[in-house]
């Protein structure tokens, strides 16, 4: 599937529309929290494009990964929640949903900071391959990729998004 073409900017426009809709239908406007790093990039741009004054949060999965012993502290950034999560309605933003393990880890990290009233998950791409029962409330696109490929969001210097599709080296 090396000829897969995903227009990250077009998908971002659809994500923006979905988040805007959530902001208008909620009694208490939800706070945006991005998963480091791609989800945090998306949340930062959403904050700007939606004209939100409230600070966004960032969640790192590093400390709660079930593969921490193999990965160690990955350079995914640090958790930053500049608001009280207790009783808050949150929208967690991520770029690519795959096995569900990163989302499990960031939810564990989030609950270390308090107990939100609700958490919704919105992603640009759901690539299937779930290992845990995790599902996005909004997945702008769904694709099927073999486990031998990775799909990552990239951000250019001008802030525009694109996707990088790479093949993993075969085990020897």
Domain boundaries, the chain: 8-68+76-166
CATH topology of domain 8-68+76-166: Rossmann fold (3.40.50)
Long-range pairs for 99-102: beta carbons < 8 A, 24 or more residues apart = 99/129, 99/130, 99/131, 99/132, 100/130, 100/131, 100/132, 100/133, 100/134, 101/65, 101/66, 101/67, 101/131, 101/132, 102/35, 102/61, 102/65
**Predicted pLDDT at 91:** 97
> Which residue ranges in the chain fall short of pLDDT 70?
1-3, 65-76, 171-172
């Amino acid at each position: 599937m090396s000829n897969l073409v995903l227009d990250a900017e077009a998908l971002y426009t659809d994500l923006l529309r979905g988040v805007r809709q959530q902001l208008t239908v909620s009694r208490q406007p939800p706070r945006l929290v991005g998963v480091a790093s791609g989800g945090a990039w998306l949340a930062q741009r959403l904050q700007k494009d939606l004209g939100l004054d409230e600070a966004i949060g960032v969640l790192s999965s590093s400390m709660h990964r079930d593969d921490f012993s193999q990965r160690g502290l990955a350079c995914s950034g640090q958790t930053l929640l500049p608001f009280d999560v207790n009783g808050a309605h949150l929208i967690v933003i991520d770029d690519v949903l795959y096995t569900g393990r990163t989302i499990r880890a960031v939810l564990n990290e989030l609950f270390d900071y308090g107990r939100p009233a609700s958490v919704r998950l919105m992603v640009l791409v759901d690539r299937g391959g779930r290992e845990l029962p995790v599902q996005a409330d909004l997945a702008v696109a769904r694709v099927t990729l073999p486990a031998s490929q990775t799909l990552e969001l990239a951000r250019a210097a001008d802030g525009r998004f694109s996707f990088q599709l790479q093949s993993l080296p075969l085990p020897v």
